[in-house]
Chain A
Amino acid sequence: MRFKKICTADIGKKNCHTLAFYKKQGGYKQAAKALKKWAPDDLIEEVKASNLRGRGGAGFPTGVKWAFVPKNSKKPKYLVVNADESEPGTFKDRLIMEKNPHILLEGIIICCKAVAIEHAYIYIRGEFVFATERLQQAIDEAYKAGILGDNCLRSGIKIDVTIHRGAGAYICGEETGMLTSLEGYRGEPKLKPPFPAVEGVFGCPTVVNNVETLANLPYILEVGAKAYRSIGPEKSPGPKLFCVSGHVEKPGTFELPMGIPLRTLIDKHAGGVWKGRKLKAVIPGGTSAHVLTAAECDVAMDIDSLAAAGTMLGSAGIIVMDDSTCMVDALLNVMRFYHHESCGQCTPCREGTGWLEKIVQRIAHGEGRMEDLELIHDVCDRMLGKTICALADAAAFPAQSIVTKFSDDFVAAIENGGSPAWKKRHLSTVGGGASHG
């Protein structure tokens, strides 16, 4: 099937965020169909058949996740929309919420019908002030138009949507961390099982889906699972938002079919590496993913191809680094983030993230030792697979792959008294020549 942009086709247009505009493009037709014509089980089957996979990072099949929710639970069920978007290099959900909020609301209605949910929360990153305003306007419009509320689109079905603003913690993007935060507690991931589908927010069955995941639902109903599956690779299909940042001429969010070659994405859509420089490294799926060297960049941008290449699509935050980048400084930046954001529950993550930052910082600041490279590996090994949530892994992956694939930069920093950028900064502040303390 021919590829069509579903989230961003009209985002340059005036009033593209309004209900009137959205309806003119055929908006809420699929929601009406879902509410009035589709049986819940059929909806779940259709989404399963579409092979839609979560856009939040883990790539879990959406229909399969919905099917885990117990059918005859006496407790209420909830949908919690993950709009916390804090993975470094990721800015796609924000675009949807600012420019096309109604597509998210329509997706929410479809999900709620499929799983018999009456209340959806949108957990939105606290820094997204403008997106929150736009989303709230859209919700208000939808209530006023009878699209949300006690009798959605005159179907007799009740769906309420409430926005909850986070307070700026990356860990509240992890689904169970998000749920504890939504409950009013300190945002800390919980042990699984129980999985949210069985025991989520307020102890009730809960579906957690990413903004972009839900935004795909109207289109799946519009064209049917079979046609949707034919966009990109069959096992990981669909239109996809790719966020390209870093050393490119035209950074931005690009909606393209899954499976687009990474090179095409960078060179054609993002205008190529900037200033005529050469490509050095790419982080393909947010900083939690393993880094790719320039030589490894001939890869298709879909879940399975990137997994086969030893990395992941993750949040599709693509960070491009040119050949002027010192990978020691790049890693220091990444490690500072995870050290700052670890919630601190699990011993390996709490201590490991801090330790890694300190080691990398020491190397960048000219006090590195050769044995530190081995030590970084060991510390990562000791963190991997030993914690409640995946944040520890997310810190260890880039550390291991950057140190392995760019060991020359590290050896140079160790042998030459620090990373080039640090030496430059340091020499200009202390006045040439003096060695640091």
Chain B
Amino acid sequence: MARGDTPMTRWLLNGQEVENPTGMTIMEAAREHGVDIPDFCYHPGLSIAGNCRICMVESNRSPKPIIACSERIADGLEIKTDSDVAVEARNSVMEFQLINHPLDCPVCDKSGECILQDHSYTHGPDRSRFVEDKNIRHTKELGPTISIWGNRCIVCTRCVRFCDEISGTGELCVVERGDRAVVDVFPGIPIDNAMAGNTVDICPVGALISEDFKFEARVWNMDRRDSVCGGCARGCNIEVETLDGYVKRLLPRENLEVNDWWMCDHGRYGWRHLYSENRLTTARTANQELEDDSATSTLADFVSRAKKVAFLIDPFLTCEELSLIHGLSSSIPDSIVGGWLPPKGTAEQFPSGFTISSAKHPNRRGAEKIFGSKVFGKDGKDLLKALDSRKVSTLIAFCGGPAEEGPGSSWSEAIRKARKRIVFSVMDGDWLKGASLVVPATAPLEKEGTWINEDGRLQRARSCWKPGDEPFCPELVRLQQVQMACEIRTRCLSAAGVFRELAENIKAFSQHSHSDLGDGGLPLSRRRARVDSKGGTR
């Protein structure tokens, strides 16, 4: 039997003959048929530990129940996941897991997304036979961002395996034996690596606690949106969780082409500036603050009357925003466009293959596709020169980065030489003094649109803002309104609509649309992989 080129194995799952690629574990294979075998210690990104025993099932392989996460399917294997033996094995593990567990869900950050909680509902006893004193284990800081609440630890070793196998930093270990066993660090060596935050995500219970998120929100109260991290050119797929439109937590989202199940701590914790004191949220002219609406009309006014216009773009802008800027610049004769890049950071590569890019911005590739490969190179230099020699009278600059000093000193000085300067900025700062118009700009997590990561993968970012409750008009809309005022556009479109225009105008994008990109994005100029005849995607 074969599915494509893959040899297949026939086996019996709860009395039904089924087929899966040879070599699969029972757990993975059963899940392909919609039979969910519970797990604690299993994680698809880590080696198999087989210690929690919750995945035990009955088989014809051995009189004892076997663990589905580690044992593999074979021809003639019979597995029962709901027989008395299997149910009793699961119930046993649940009873044991719970006897010493503090069950402090009301004050536990994991509550609501806790695997122990979930399995308790389905497989746990409804009362305890344990009348002894519960064990006490340590609660302590393991590092600058993570602490352990030992009483909750189920010793699944996911976190230990993560540090051994994925980050390769090996800070965590299990200390003590038996029911005293608990996760710890070596004396004087805290857990402090650029991927550490993932251990909190994969901890199936509330034993590892993120100091950043501790007591910040109950998880069921938060809204979640699939998005992409703008921290670097890797573009890790993430979930953005918000409470009333405010970001509370970022979590990585599985994408085996980009970030596996992980994200880095720079990206994870890199959103605090959104709510800092120096965040720019209102527009102003050189001498007064503006209502958001009049900011747009003032801007339209400037643009329609401008001469010797230049645009300074950044690599934080989405392809959609860049496309709108492209539309404006093309409509203004002799306008010039150049780009600025934030300083290079450090790249990091981990043993698992996970990488953090040295390019600390999400969309250089997109800007180059739209404005040409020289936009941050020669074009940028030319723009700098034109500003220095005062050949630019109106400059429209974009600064979507997190730095309060904007695009850096050489650019700030040059910008000052334009007679009229209109600056879109995320952060307020001294360098904005004297600008003709300052417009609040969206930061990466607030944008609706697409970015192209360093591997050329086109991915969709979504805004964390609560629809209808936006603090100011995002560039995506504001730039379209300006285009309408300049009579080069008739109506305001969604990000998907703007993307459609981009696909019509620029060949590199012509194969794509928002809906095609799905959750995980696609390599640019390649359409969604065709679905093969047997129903699997390849």
List A residues at the B interface (Cβ < 8 Å). 169, 171, 186, 191, 339-348, 350-355, 358-359, 362, 375, 378, 381-383, 385-388
Contact = CB atoms under 8 A, between A and B. Distances in A.
27 contacts: A186-B173, A191-B50, A339-B178, A340-B177, A342-B179, A344-B155, A344-B177, A345-B155, A345-B181, A347-B51, A347-B96, A347-B97, A348-B93, A350-B178, A351-B100, A352-B96, A354-B179, A355-B130, A358-B133, A359-B132, A378-B129, A382-B92, A382-B96, A383-B92, A386-B89, A386-B93, A388-B50
A354 B95 CA distance: 13
Which of A350, A351, A375 lies at the interface centre, i.e. has the most chain B CB atoms within 10 A of its CB?
A351
Given A345-B155, A347-B96, A351-B97, A386 B177 contact: no
Contact of A186 (B65, B174, B178): B174
Contacts of B157: 345
Interface string B49-89: 11111101000000111000010000000000000000011
A385 B96 contact: no
B154 interface: yes
Given A351-B96, A388-B51, A339 B65 contact: no
Nearest to B50: A191
A351 B129 CA distance: 13
Q: Which 10 A-B pairs have the closest CB atoms?
A: A344-B181, A382-B92, A351-B96, A385-B64, A354-B179, A358-B132, A342-B178, A345-B51, A191-B50, A344-B178
Contacts of A347: 51-54, 93, 96-97, 154
Interface in B433-457: none
Contacts of B176: 344
B70 A385 contact: no
Nearest to A362: B132
A364 to B, nearest CB: 13
A339 B179 contact: yes
B472 to A, nearest CB: 52
Given A339-B178, A346-B52, 17 more contacts: A191-B50, A340-B178, A342-B178, A344-B155, A347-B96, A348-B92, A348-B96, A350-B155, A350-B178, A350-B181, A351-B100, A352-B96, A353-B178, A358-B132, A382-B95, A383-B92, A388-B51
A358 B179 CA distance: 12
B174 to A, nearest CB: 7
B96 A387 contact: no
Contacts of B51: 345-347, 388
A355 B180 CA distance: 12
B187 to A, nearest CB: 16
B320 to A, nearest CB: 51
Contacts of A386: 53, 56, 64-65, 89, 92-93
B403 interface: no
A354 B64 contact: no
A355 B130 CA distance: 8
Interface in B152-205: 154-155, 157, 173-174, 176-181
Contact of B132 (A350, A353, A355): A355
A344 to B, nearest CB: 3
A347 B99 CA distance: 11
